[in-house]
Amino acid sequence: MSSPLPKIGKPATNALQHINITTLEEVAKLDEKTLLKIHGVGPKAVKILKDTLAEKGLSFADDNPLSFNTDFAVIGDLKCDNAPKRRMIRDFIIGRAARKEEILTDVLTEDVIWRVINKDETHGFRNFCQKIAKADYHLSSIEIAINLTHGKEGAVHTIVTLNDGRQIYSADFFEFVSNKKDAKIKRITTYIMD
């Protein structure tokens, strides 16, 4: 049986509901630092959640498994364990959103092609980085809902929540250089719905 969220204030409740977190059990899947990055969730709400979780015999998840920091919350199945290409896709999604070239350089080829359906196509790593650097948005969170790979191909479904509560849904399809586990991404096709 699931437990509803305690009274944590309207901004925090709304922020969590925007990312489809409506129960204590769902909150327990997140770590404290991630919760505090969600626009609208502050230290007071986190303390109430922590105390309520403890009363129910629950606790926040261990720290986020990412090896880098972001200014926004990253949620979903982030542990890629024995799946290096899933990790590369995860890091691409986060690196693109955070506009962090140091993350992207580890996962993209120099001649990468990024096609955004019904918008444009970008050729080359440098042009890709310049394009995402121009993006003007303020993220509250990214949810990596589905992340799949097989051979030279992969796909991911993400939900981006902006600070104003709007959500952007995207599906990215990837082609890797080869079947090798450390092969970089050479082509991305993106579908966006906002």
Residues 45 and 82 in one domain: no
Q: pLDDT per residue over 91-150, tens digit each?
A: 999 999 999 999 999 999 999 999 999 999 999 999 999 999 998 888 999 999 999 999
Residues 133 and 106 in one domain: yes
Q: Within a domain: residue 17?
A: yes
Residues 39 and 80 in one domain: no
Provide the domain count of the chain.
Answer: 2
Residues 29 and 115 in one domain: no
Give residue 25's domain range: 10-55
Which CATH number fits the domain that encloses residue 136?
A: 3.10.450.50
Residues 123 and 39 in one domain: no
State pTM to two decimals. 0.83
Residues 37 and 104 in one domain: no
pLDDT at position 30, please?
A: 86
Residues 171 and 119 in one domain: yes
Give residues with Cβ within 8 angstroms of 171, minimum separation 6: 155, 156, 157, 158, 190, 191
pLDDT band at residue 10 using 50, 70 and 90 as cut-offs = very high
Q: Within a domain: residue 67?
A: no
DSSP per residue over 59-102, as a string? -PPSSP--SS--SSEEEE----TT-HHHHHHHHHHHHHHHT-HH
Residues 15 and 111 in one domain: no
Residues 105 and 148 in one domain: yes
Q: Within a domain: residue 19?
A: yes
Residues 48 and 94 in one domain: no
Q: Within a domain: residue 155?
A: yes
Residues 126 and 158 in one domain: yes
Q: Within a domain: residue 62?
A: no
Residues 135 and 176 in one domain: yes
Q: Are strands 153-162 and 108-116 parallel, antiparallel or unpaired?
A: unpaired
Q: pLDDT per residue over 11-70, tens digit each?
A: 999 988 888 889 999 898 888 888 888 889 999 999 999 999 999 999 998 876 677 788
Q: Within a domain: residue 1?
A: no
CA separation for the pair 94, 82 (Å, rounded): 19
